[in-house]
Amino acid sequence: MDLILLFFIFLLAAFLGLELISKVPSQLHTPLMSGSNAISGITVVGAIVATGANEDGTTGMILGLLALIFATINVVGGYLVTDRMLQMFKKKGK
């Protein structure tokens, strides 16, 4: 991996993130937070590799499995709860 390239990506993503949601109606603050929180569960990708790439019973595999469980709770729970909230916002729109 080219280090400089990684930093470059990081920097661009930071600016993109700041630009994306500079103006959000306050009504959407909670769903935005919980939705972006679900995205931060992307660590699940690292956890999958850590779980699968280590031999059974090694410390690395156990740490990976724990990471996988916690990250999956974050991802699945985060998306579903955000959807539940947004569903409520929707139904009164009619």
Partner 1 sequence: MELDNIINLAYVIAATLFVFGIKMLGSAETARRGNMISGIGMLIAVVVTLLDREILDYKWIVAGLIIGASIGGIAARIVKMTSMPELVALFNGFGGFASLLVAWAELEKIGLLGWQLYMGQMGTPAQFSSFVIYLAMLIGGVTFTGSLYAYGKLSGRVSGRALVFGGQKFLNILLLVAILGIGVVFTWTENLDTASSLFVVGVSLALVFGIMGVMPIGGGDMPVVISMLNSCSGLAASAAGFVIGNNVLIVAGCLVGASGLILTVIMCKAMNRSLGNVLFSGFGAANQSSGDDDDREPKAINVEDAYYVLEAASSVVFIPGYGMAVAQAQHVVKELAELLEENGAEVNFAIHPVAGRMPGHMNVLLAEADVPYEQLVEMDNINPIMPTVDVAVVIGANDVVNPSAVNDESSPIYGMPIIEAHNAKTVFILKRGQGKGFSGLVNKLFVMNNSRMIYGDAKATISAMVNELKG
In the window 33-72, what residues touch partner 1 (CB under 8 A)? Answer: 33-56, 58-61, 63-72
The answer to whether 27 contacts partner 1 (rule: CB under 8 A) is: yes
Residues in the interface with partner 1 (CB under 8 A) total 84
92 makes contact with partner 1 (CB under 8 A): yes
Q: Does 90 bind partner 1 (CB under 8 A)?
A: yes
| 91 sits near partner 1 (criterion: CB under 8 A) | yes
50-81 per-residue burial string, b: 16 or more CB within 10 A, e: under 16: bbeebeeeeeebeebeebbeebeebbeebbeb
